[in-house]
Structures are given as C-alpha cells and as structure tokens.
Amino acid sequence: MAWLGLPCGPEDLLLEPDGAPLRLDKAFSWEAPLAIHGMMQMVIANAVAGDPYPIDTLFLFMANMAWNSAMNTAGTMDMLTARDPASGEHCIPHIIDADAFASEMVAYADLVLPDTTYLERWDCISVLDRPISDADGVADAIRQPIVLPDRDVRPFQDVLLDLGARLGLPGMVTPEGAARYPGGYAEYLANHERAPGIGPLAGFRGADGTAIGRGAANPRQLAAYVANGCFWRHELAPGQRFYRFANAGYLEFAVRMGFVPDAAPIVLQIYSEPLQRFRLAAEGHGPVQPPHELRARVLAAFDPLPVWRPPLGDASAGAASFPLHALTQRPMIMYHSWGAQNAWLRQILGRNDLYMAGATARAHGLADGDWAWLVGARRRIKLRIRTMEGVQADTVWTWNAVGKRAGAWGLAADAPEVRQGFLLNHLIGEHLPAVGGGRRFANADPVTGQAAWFDQRARLERCAPGESGPTEPQFPSLDGLRHVTTGPVAPARTRP
Amino acid sequence: MTGLARHRGAARPALVIDLDICVGCHACSVACKGASAGAPLADGVWPNQVFGYEIDAGDGGAGEGGRTVYVPRMCQHCEHPDCVTVCPTGASFQRAADGIVLIDAASCIGCRLCAWACPYGAREYDEAAGVMRKCTLCTERRDAVGAQTLPVCVSTCPSGARHFGDLGDPASAVSELVRRRGGFALLAEAGYGPAVRYLPPRPRAPVAPVTAAPDIAAVGGVERWLHHALAR
C-alpha cells in the first residue's frame, strides 16, 4: 500500500511486535502514525527519558538543537548534559555534530565534523525533494564548488558516504567490500539509483545524456548540468498541464519519471480512507490495533472528514490565564542566507522584538519600545515590545533564530543578537501537559506528528520599574567551555 | 554646476517594482551589497533599501483593512536630476544614451551636495572611499556582460517583485506592465521625472468572518454540509 514513505493504514506503521514505537522519535507509531516528516523535536527528550529506549550516540547535521531548532531550549540544554543518577554517566553518552558554523549545538558535541559552505561542495536540488520545478515544467538543479575550502573541512555528504563505507552499510560498499562511491558525493549523484534508472538527478541521463527521468547513469551528467547553467528543465506538453490528477497524458509521463507507481487517476479523498483505516483499528478491527491506552486518542484524531479542533494544549487546566497566542517565524530576510551571520544581514536585523497590535500593548499598559515579560505555563522570557497594526489583537509574534547565545557564532559577547535578541522557544514545551496516569504526549499533531510551534499560549506582564534589557534568559558564554582538539582524519579503510 | 546631456536618446532603462508582492526580505539589498557597484561598499552604505509601512484604513491600522506594504527605494534615475546639476566637479552625470545617472568616482570629491539635492535619499557617502555611492542599475556589469543582463536586485528577487526593462519603448514588457497595473512614480509632483515605477498593492478581497466548525448533524448530514462547503 505505502509508497514513497506514505503510510496508508495501520499495517504500514513502524512498530515493535508489542506495538511500541520502533523509531526513537516515535514517528509512524500510534502516537503519530502519519509523521512523514519525522519528529526531530522529540529525539533528545525521548533519548534522555529512555522512552522508547536510550541511545549511545546522538548524531546531528545542521540542527541547532541546543538553541533555535529545539522546543524548550533551556530544558534541552540541560538534557544534553544530563547524567544518569545511578551510573553517573551522561544520559546521551556521545554527541556528534556536523555544522559549517560554530553554532550553539557545536559546544555540546564530543566530536565535531566541520562542514563546508554551499560554495565549496556539490549539492543536488532533486525532483525527489523540493525541486525547482514550476507549474509548466519539471526541473532540478545542482550546486558546484566554486571555491576550494581554505580550512580543515569536508562536505558532509562526502563524510556520510565515507562513514557508510567504513561501516559496510548496504548500498555504500561494493560486493568486495570497497567503498562504493570513493569519488564522494559527486560520484554518488551521477550513479546512485533509488529504482532502476532513477537517480537523484532527472536530467541528462542515459549513455548519450539525452534520457530524462529514467535512464542509465551517465558519467558525464554533472558536466552536462554545469554546461546548462547548473539546472535541467523539461517543459510539459500543453495537454499535460491541466487536471493532472486525471490527465492520462500527464500521469503516463509521471510514471515514466518515477513520480507515481501507476497511471490510475488520483482521487482527492474528502472522506479519507487511510484516516478511516486507523479509526477502524482503534474501534477494534483488523490485525494491527493501537494499545488500549491510546485507542481514545486515535479514535478522536482520525476523523475521515475535514474537521477543525482547538489546539490540544488549550484543553489543559489554566489555559484561560494565557490569553495570547505567541508565534515565532523564520525571518524572510534569513531565507536567502542560511548562515544568519552574513555581516550585511546583521546590519539589517541584528535583534528581535515582540510585535503586537497597539491596542493590545495599551491594554497591558505598554507603549512601543517598552520592556515586558512574556509568561508561559513553564517559563517566562524578558523582551522589548514593538507595536504594529495588522496583527490580530490576541496574537503576538517575533522573528525566530535572531537571538544567539553569548560566545556562539563567533559573535562578541555584547552583540545585539545576544543582549537584545531572544528565543520564544523557551516557552514552548516539547510535551503536552501530562494526562491521566502521568503519560506525556509530544506537543504535536496526533496524526502527523507536526510540532505544535504555533499553538503556544502566553500572557504579557509589564516589567517592574527599573527593569529593562538585556533580554532574559541569558546563558553563560560558550567561550569558556570550548575545548577543541583537531587531528588528521584517518583514511577510509575497506572491509577485510 | 554640471550640465545635463543636450540630446537624450529614447531609451529609458528602469526598474519596475511590484508593491503587491514584495515581502520585505531585503534580498535585493543584500545582493546589491554583494555586487557592490563595481567597488566594495563601506559599512552602512546601502544603495537599495527596503522600508515597511503600515496602511491605516481609517481604523488606526488595526482590523481587516490594515496591512504592511514594503517599498524598496533606490536612485530613481531622474530625467531632471538636481544631484547632477549641483555637482561642482562633473563627477555626477547623466548618460546621454539612456539617461542613467552615474558617478565618476575619480572626480568625486565627496562634498555631499548631491545628497542634499536628492529628494529620494538615494545617495550615500562612502566613508572609506571618500566618494558618493548610489544605484547604478548595475550598468558596469551590464555594459561588460551584455545588455540582456539584469541588475542583481532583479535577478535575485525571490518573489519576482522587481522587473527591469526599457520604459522608453512603449511596446516593452515593462511599459505594458506599468499600463496594466497603473504604475506610478514616487513624488512625481516634485518634477524630477523619476524613471522608476511602482505597481500599487492590489485591493484585498474582504476576509470572510471566522465561524465555528460546522455541526454536521445540525446542517442535515455530510452530503448537505459538503454541498454547502463546496459551494462557497
């Protein structure tokens, strides 16, 4: 039933024989059956709690889990250094982090794998993952290295292929045990096939470079992309551009390209059969059924019709004392530079404030530029408010990831990002309040596992007289904690 | 003090900026800094800047009528540029062929008279180089690479809010766009004849009031509810 990672019923879940989650993040378990994006936000909390199991090593790539990528940031920082009281050992014994920048997370790593920037490596913007396609054509793209690294770094994809070969993972080694892609990611891009003839790049396939979508690996494929401006695009015939869910010409093309397994019309289900299959399981039908204690939750969440319900956290006692919705969103300004420390972007947006309608500020006795506390059920944060109209009166918001920890990102200890920036993340719990029996579910959608970043409730309080910046909480500078040893990388070895 | 060209060509290369879809991301500003008009721009020098304004629809800006509009602002490459005529050295000049206003850094003495004269705040003093800087429409790049090359602020704009073309040609795509969308010039009444055109934000459709989730039983079952929902 399932294809491309999309579960269609209980039999597609990833479960232990006793029904417990197979994955550490509990994605594709009864707690989040359709979590097709995974539940990265739960990995650290679950590992530290040993629920569903403890881990030996946490391996992160460009996920700043000690800062803006985590819910409950201060709590997560404590978890990363937490020790088991019985053994005295760290709850997460080893942490490996790959990053191109000295982010907050890097300071918590036992082993750092320094990554290159985008300008120093090959990359692939594949039709398999958020391609550059447009409405009238299929397109994908590559990046090529345009400068050589001037420091001790390696492209993370090369490192993964190297690690995979050293560990002898399937697909990463030849039958003789040698590295399958000794040429690194560039070699992988041109030669890897996820299905016969279908690889990361859809253009310039086949021996002569003219096949599209499906075709033999072409050793000159990357050169063809470079010669074509680093992208490939196939324009759909006019007859393929409309009603594609039922357009035979388009669907047959989509099968040839590997987008869909067959050319049957794609029916948009307003009454969703997959959702109903999970509900039937919760009602006691079929061979794979949820554990008893989860049945009511699955039954309520898997309504086959489109419905809307208030956020789960709103049902908890005390929600009424937090009348504001608090949102955090990534600045548009940062979307064209993933390294937020572009010197020019710092000049445009070096601090963040909490924005709200003028009437909301006045109702709290606040004026534009005042300092205030934003209080959630578990913590409070101190920040500066700005008024802006066009915001709903019961909603406040800020820019995400502008605030930085002192000593991270090579910033001065008194940088505006440190002293005047802040994270809303401290207020946002990774768990919902405990339900009967003390069980705590992820603060996430019970169907998709989507982290509930936008369900946060809060209350605004004026600062006491004389109270103002810097923002709070502030944390000890990472400068004093850094202890880095570097050494040569051992050459890849082949399996005996 | 500096004369304007006596005989102007018909070409009028200009930016056309769609205020309806600019999201205020500043990609244009950052790309401009990167391209840096042929020479590095000192800290604080921003030839292209993006300003955000809140629209007051009569209710103090709150409510449905309220919205934020972003307005990128840069040199308007005026037909009658006072920044050129006040220049004591001839460093500021208007190209005869296409009316683009440029600065010859070699003869600029950094006196800043042009900054005082410009009604658009488009001229920036570069402390490091001791000369004035401004938008050049990437003329140095386009002259070198080819006229079909776009200014970097246009080619980088992720929302496609910036267009570039010849407003001197009434049949050009940008001329058609300005006609169709009612493009306007900033501060036209001041009489400088700015070349840049802004496309006004489109009026917003009224937002339907948020209502509670329907009680399917009360509206007569799934079939009637679907009929009602899909008919909206």
- The answer to whether the CB atoms of A358 and B62 lie below 8 A apart is yes
Answer whether residue B231 is part of any domain.
no
Nearest to A183 by CA among A157, A206, A147, A209: A157
* pLDDT higher at A403 or A487: A403
CA distance B185 to B191: 10
* pLDDT higher at A139 or B226: A139
* DSSP of A83-129: B-TTT-SBSS-EEEEEESS--TGGGG-SEEEEPP-GGGS-EEE-TTS
Mean pLDDT of the B52-72 span: 78
Instruction: Supply the pLDDT for residue B209.
Output: 65
Contact between residue A467 and residue A371 where contact means Cβ atoms under 8 Å apart: yes
Task: Find, in chain B, the residue whose alpha carbon is nearest to that of A271.
Answer: B222
Task: Find, in chain B, the residue whose alpha carbon is nearest to that of A356.
Answer: B62
**pLDDT of A480 above 70:** no
From the list A308, A309, A388, the residue facing B54 with the nearest CB is A388
- The answer to whether the CB atoms of B158 and A344 lie below 8 A apart is no
Answer whether residue B216 is part of any domain.
no
Q: Give percent of chain B above pLDDT 90.
A: 65
Task: Find, in chain A, the residue whose alpha carbon is nearest to that of B157.
Answer: A336
Instruction: Supply the pLDDT for residue B34.
Output: 84
**pLDDT of A341 above 80:** no
Mean pLDDT of the A118-126 span: 94
**pLDDT of A76 above 90:** yes
Answer whether residue B206 is part of any domain.
no
Using CA atoms, how far residue A387 sits from A334, A347, A356, in Å, is 22, 21, 5
Chosen from B26, B36, B124 to mutate, greatest number of chain A CBs within 10 A: B26
Strand partners, A397: A327, A355
- The answer to whether the CB atoms of A348 and B61 lie below 8 A apart is no
Instruction: Supply the pLDDT for residue B189.
Output: 97
Q: Which domain holds residue B64?
A: 13-199
CA distance A403 to A426: 12
Answer whether residue B228 is part of any domain.
no
Domains (ranges, CATH) in chain A? Answer: 119-235 (no CATH), 312-481 (2.40.40.20)
Instruction: Supply the pLDDT for residue A304.
Output: 97
CA B221 from centre of chain: 53
**pLDDT of A491 above 80:** no
Answer whether residue B100 is part of any domain.
yes
- pLDDT (tens digit per residue) in A12-48: 999 999 899 999 999 999 999 999 999 999 999 999 9
How many Cα atoms occupy the beta-carbon half-sphere of A60 within 13 Å?
A: 29
Question: Considering only CB atoms, which chain B residues are within 8 Å of A399?
Answer: none
**pLDDT of A481 above 60:** no
Q: How confident is the model at residue A451 (pLDDT cuts 50, 70, 90)?
A: very high
- pLDDT (tens digit per residue) in B116-157: 999 999 999 999 999 999 999 999 888 888 877 899 999 999
- Extract the tokens encoding A30: 């009864």
Q: What is the pTM of this model?
A: 0.86
Task: Find, in chain B, the residue whose alpha carbon is nearest to that of A344.
Answer: B30
Answer whether residue B33 is part of any domain.
yes
CATH number, domain of B54, equals 3.30.70.20
* pLDDT higher at A52 or B219: A52
From the list A344, A347, A390, the residue facing B68 with the nearest CB is A390
Instruction: Supply the pLDDT for residue A2.
Output: 41
A482 close to B (CB below 8 A): no
A269 close to B (CB below 8 A): no
- The answer to whether the CB atoms of A333 and B26 lie below 8 A apart is yes
Contact between residue A322 and residue A377 where contact means Cβ atoms under 8 Å apart: yes
Question: Considering only CB atoms, which chain A residues are within 8 Å of B219?
Answer: none
* pLDDT higher at A321 or A344: A321
From the list A305, A332, A390, the residue facing B67 with the nearest CB is A390
DSSP H helical segments within A168-294, as ranges? 185-191, 221-227, 248-257, 273-282
- The answer to whether the CB atoms of A359 and B62 lie below 8 A apart is yes
Size of interface A-B (CB pairs under 8 A): 56
Answer whether residue B6 is part of any domain.
no
- pLDDT (tens digit per residue) in B83-99: 999 999 999 999 999 99
Q: How confident is the model at residue A484 (pLDDT cuts 50, 70, 90)?
A: low
- pLDDT (tens digit per residue) in B158-204: 999 999 999 999 999 999 999 999 999 999 999 999 999 999 999 87
- pLDDT (tens digit per residue) in B1-25: 688 877 778 999 999 999 999 999 9
Answer whether residue B218 is part of any domain.
no
Q: Which residues between 353 and 372 in chain A have a beta carbon less than 8 angstroms from any beta carbon of chain B?
A: 357-359
**pLDDT of A97 above 80:** yes
Question: Considering only CB atoms, which chain A residues are within 8 Å of B29?
Answer: 344, 348
Q: How confident is the model at residue B65 (pLDDT cuts 50, 70, 90)?
A: low
**pLDDT of A4 above 60:** no
H helix or E strand, kind and range, residue A327:
strand A324-329
Q: Nearest CA to CA, how far is A390 from chain B (Å)?
A: 5
Which are the contacts of A84, defined by CB distance < 8 A and separation ≥ 6? Answer: A90, A91
From the list A309, A349, A390, the residue facing B61 with the nearest CB is A390
Instruction: Supply the pLDDT for residue A413.
Output: 87
Q: How confident is the model at residue A332 (pLDDT cuts 50, 70, 90)?
A: confident
A348 close to B (CB below 8 A): yes
Burial of A386 (0-12, 13-18, 19+ CB in 10 A): middle
Q: What is the number of domains present in chain B?
A: 1
CA A281 from centre of chain: 30
Q: How confident is the model at residue A232 (pLDDT cuts 50, 70, 90)?
A: very high
Mean pLDDT of the A468-495 span: 67
From the list B25, B213, B216, the residue facing A308 with the nearest CB is B213
Q: How confident is the model at residue B225 (pLDDT cuts 50, 70, 90)?
A: low
- The answer to whether the CB atoms of B26 and A388 lie below 8 A apart is no
